[in-house]
């Protein structure tokens, strides 16, 4: 049971990490490459749906979703089986080496990479891109230009 909790915690930490993964060793790099190579587009969508279903439980967001308990449970089962398949079957050798030489952080970092790849796939969708672009309509270009100028960053195209 304790191993299951540690693996799940690694998956959560990795999947939710949207920033750059921490400096990884060669075994973590190998595991990351394997996870990305072996996770299909459907697997990546399942992983992102599981993260979404978990985040949707936050009180700030919960009222905006219509996910049922059964859908959340199914997402958790799907993500758990995906993690198990990737670590114990598809990327077994890389998983053992990563854990042996770099510890549980190898799983966190490797799933972070997989999560980032999956997120990029979501942001590549035209409807998602269109919705994300709406943020720009509320931004004052002159204020942003002044901020960048003060920081010494040119905003003119080269």
Q: Which two tokens stand for residue 117?
A: 């790849």
pLDDT of residue 137: 81
Residue 155 counted as domain residue: no
Q: 124 is in which domain, residue-wise?
A: 2-150
Look at residue 25 and tell me if it is in a domain. yes
CB atoms under 10 Å from CB of 95, counted, come to: 23
Instruction: Give domain status of residue 16, yes or no.
Output: yes
Which stretches within the chain are classed as H helix? 2-16, 26-38, 41-55, 59-62, 69-85, 92-102, 105-123, 126-133, 141-150
Q: How confident is the model at residue 22 (pLDDT cuts 50, 70, 90)?
A: low
Work out the average pLDDT over 91-103. Answer: 97
Q: Is the pLDDT of residue 47 over 80?
A: yes
Q: Is residue 44 part of a domain?
A: yes
Q: Output the pLDDT for position 72.
A: 96
Q: What is the pLDDT of residues 53-92, one digit of tens each?
A: 999 999 999 999 999 999 999 999 999 999 999 999 999 9
Between these two residues, 66 and 7, which has the higher pLDDT value? Answer: 66
- Count: domains in the chain: 1
* pLDDT for 89: 98
Q: What pLDDT is attached to residue 3?
A: 52
Q: Is 91 exposed, middle or buried (0-12, 13-18, 19+ CB in 10 A)?
A: buried
**What is the DSSP code (8-state) at residue 19?**
S
Instruction: Report yes or no on 57 lying in a domain.
Output: yes
Question: Does 114 fall in a domain?
Answer: yes
The verdict on residue 158 lying in a domain is no
Residue that wins the pLDDT comparison between 138 and 152: 152
Percent of the chain with pLDDT over 90: 65
108 is a domain residue = yes
């Amino acid at each position: 049971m304790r191993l299951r909790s540690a693996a799940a915690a690694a998956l959560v930490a990795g999947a939710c990490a949207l920033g750059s993964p921490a400096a990884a060793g060669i075994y973590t790099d190998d595991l990351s490459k394997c996870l990305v190579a072996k996770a299909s587009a459907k697997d990546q969508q399942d992983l992102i749906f599981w993260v979404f279903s978990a985040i949707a439980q936050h009180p700030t967001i919960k009222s905006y979703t219509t996910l049922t308990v059964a859908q959340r449970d199914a997402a958790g089962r799907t993500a758990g089986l995906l993690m198990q398949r990737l670590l114990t079957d598809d990327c077994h050798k890389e998983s053992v080496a990563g854990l042996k030489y770099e510890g549980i952080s190898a799983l966190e970092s490797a799933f972070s990479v997989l999560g980032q790849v999956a997120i990029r796939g979501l942001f590549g969708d035209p409807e998602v891109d269109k919705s994300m672009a709406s943020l720009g309509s509320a931004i004052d270009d002159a204020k942003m230009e002044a901020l960048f100028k003060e920081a010494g960053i040119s905003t003119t195209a080269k």
